[in-house]
Chains A and B, each alone.
Chain A
Amino acid sequence: MNYYLLANIIVCIFAFVGFVYGAMQFFRHGKALYGQMITFALLCVVIGRIFNIARILSGVNFIGSFQLGTLGIIGSFMFFYTSNYGTLDSIVDDGTKEFLKYRLIAMVAPVVVIGLYFPLFFLGDVTKIWKVQGAVLLFFMALCSYFHLKHLVITDVEFGVIKNLRPYNLLALLYMMSSIAECYAMSRNNSVMTLVSTCFSAVFLVLMIPLISRGLKKSFKRKRNG
């Protein structure tokens, strides 16, 4: 059994379930753009994984060269980044000194992610393509991690939207870690570790939409009740 194929099928199915649920929840008139972005992120994961599955089935060397499937992971992180930076962050942080403390704390996440690049990819015994791919992947993860950590530690705003979305932000950080583990395993050609890390990614992805949906519903309920 090809573990890489199995790993991609598992993530693809779980992300697809999340995407369908997200489409039903958020693609209606007046629904939050935030949720739509996360749904798009799941779609990006699904398409990326379909590419990987097709690539493996067509019998091409999957590990040794750059594949578009990697862009699926980058795309999902870009959607997470867009949702936080483009829709939520301006409500949470007005750019004043009051929130400087939280901004500095949040900087820890990208520093850690970029710091991980050196032992995992740059100094590790990996091919050149993985050194480059690892750098690109971790760069986008670093961008995204700043907002996830910030929204995890920052004080709540009206109607408790930040508090209600904390479980999702924690889950997104966990998904980031499992994605780093997957890339690490793939760069070392370790199929068992790839399978284990993708199983975690699959679970994190499928839980995202229910957590966001519940968080946003709670906030809207509080808003309605005044």
Chain B
Amino acid sequence: MDSNMIYILFICIFVPIMVSVPLIEKSSRDITIYILIGIVAALFISEVNGMMLKLFDNDILYVTTTITPVTEEIIKAFPVLFYVFLFPASRRKLLSISFALGIGFALFENTYILISNVESVSLGWALIRGFSTALMHGLCTAAVGYGMAYVRLKKKLALPGTFSLLITAIIYHGVFNIFVQTESMKYFGFLLPSVTYMPFLIYIIIKNKKTKTEVEGKSISLVTKK
């Protein structure tokens, strides 16, 4: 494979999304930009991880289960921190952009792995990578984003809270990596992100329904008063 393949792939994915940004509606623009930032972070981390592998004598298992979760989560957290300090955003917005960053990261990572192993991949592989790795990256970054939402709300909570959530995200990432790389436990790894994601999804759906009902209730009472 061409040694520049990762950059070729980066241009092929990054540029089409980038040129579409000015045409996208303002409400969705931040999300798209953060998907792009996730792609850049994935490219950057591939270089860092390469250096780490050399530093630890190419011990792939140790590096992928102990070192890369730390480097990846820290690098993914920086753009979210940048957003928090530049723009006043709601907790929900921060969750959305951080999740988008994680998804952008996973999108590039998945595509690169696909290109590198094009002869051995299957439909099952695609489903597993799609549901497990993408969700895992999204959830980990969203957890850190949730902590950063307190930067403006309660300053005393922000730094230690974000640091604690970052640690939690790093260990979660490590657990996922160790599961998927151990033959006897790989199915736990494939299921872990979905099992974590489902309660959040259900919670958000219920909350949205509740808010909608409350808003409808308020508007009905206003109309009756009039």
B and A form one assembly: yes
Q: Using a CB–CB distance below 8 Å, which chain A residues touch chain B?
A: 33, 37, 40-41, 43-44, 47-48, 50-51, 54-55, 57-58, 60, 65-69, 71-72, 74-75, 78-79, 81-82, 85-87, 90
Q: Are B160 and A82 neighbours in the complex by a CB distance under 8 Å?
A: yes
Query: Which of chain B's residues have a CB closer than 8 A to the CB of A87?
Result: 154, 156-157
Q: Are A82 and B62 neighbours in the complex by a CB distance under 8 Å?
A: no
Which residue from chain B places its CB closest to the CB of A86 in the assembled complex?
B157
Q: Which of A43, A54, A66, A67 has the most CB of B within 10 A?
A: A54
Report Cα–Cα, A75/B69, bound state, in Å.
15
B167 interface contact, C-beta 8 A: yes
As a 0/1 sequence over residues 143 to 164 of chain B, the CB contacts with chain A under 8 angstroms (1 = contact) are 0000000000010110011011
Q: Are A75 and B164 neighbours in the complex by a CB distance under 8 Å?
A: yes
Query: Which of chain A's residues have a CB closer than 8 A to the CB of B156?
Result: 85-87, 90
Report Cα–Cα, A16/B117, bound state, in Å.
38
Which residue from chain B places its CB closest to the CB of A54 in the assembled complex?
B178
Q: Are A85 and B160 neighbours in the complex by a CB distance under 8 Å?
A: yes
Partner of B154, one of A41, A51, A86: A86
Query: Please, could you name 27 A-B residue pairs with CB atoms under 8 Å apart, sorted by A?
Result: A40-B164, A40-B168, A41-B164, A44-B164, A44-B167, A44-B171, A48-B171, A51-B178, A54-B185, A55-B178, A57-B185, A58-B61, A58-B185, A68-B66, A68-B69, A71-B167, A72-B167, A74-B167, A75-B171, A78-B163, A82-B164, A85-B156, A86-B156, A86-B157, A86-B160, A87-B156, A87-B157
Give the A-B pair count, Cβ closer than 8 A: 82
Q: Are A68 and B174 neighbours in the complex by a CB distance under 8 Å?
A: yes
Give the distance to chain B from A129, nearest Cβ to Cβ, in Å: 12
B139 interface contact, C-beta 8 A: no
Partner of B164, one of A33, A50, A58, A78: A78
* Other A-B pairs, 5, CB within 8 Å; known A55-B178, A85-B156: A40-B165, A57-B185, A71-B167, A75-B167, A78-B160
Query: Which of chain B's residues have a CB closer than 8 A to the CB of A57?
Result: 182, 184-185
B172 interface contact, C-beta 8 A: yes
Q: What secondary structure prevails in chain B residues at the interface with A?
A: helix
Which residue from chain B places its CB closest to the CB of A44 in the assembled complex?
B168
Report Cα–Cα, A40/B154, bound state, in Å.
18
Give the distance to chain A from B156, nearest Cβ to Cβ, in Å: 4
Give the distance to chain B from A142, nearest Cβ to Cβ, in Å: 14
Which residue from chain B places its CB closest to the CB of A143 in the assembled complex?
B160
Q: Are B62 and A65 neighbours in the complex by a CB distance under 8 Å?
A: yes
B170 interface contact, C-beta 8 A: yes
Give the distance to chain B from A46, nearest Cβ to Cβ, in Å: 10
Partner of A66, one of B66, B154, B171, B184: B66
Q: Are B174 and A51 neighbours in the complex by a CB distance under 8 Å?
A: yes
Report Cα–Cα, A57/B167, bound state, in Å.
23
Give the distance to chain A from B62, nearest Cβ to Cβ, in Å: 7
Report Cα–Cα, A66/B163, bound state, in Å.
19
Give the distance to chain B from A147, nearest Cβ to Cβ, in Å: 11
Report Cα–Cα, A127/B170, bound state, in Å.
25
Give the distance to chain B from A95, nearest Cβ to Cβ, in Å: 13
Give the distance to chain B from A181, nearest Cβ to Cβ, in Å: 22
Q: Are A68 and B185 neighbours in the complex by a CB distance under 8 Å?
A: no
Which residue from chain A places its CB closest to the CB of B154 in the assembled complex?
A86
Report Cα–Cα, A48/B164, bound state, in Å.
13
Given contacts A55-B178, A86-B154, contact A68 B171 (CB under 8 A): yes
Q: Are A75 and B178 neighbours in the complex by a CB distance under 8 Å?
A: no
Query: Which of chain B's residues have a CB closer than 8 A to the CB of A58?
Result: 61, 178, 181-182, 185
Give the distance to chain B from A63, nearest Cβ to Cβ, in Å: 14
Report Cα–Cα, A37/B182, bound state, in Å.
32
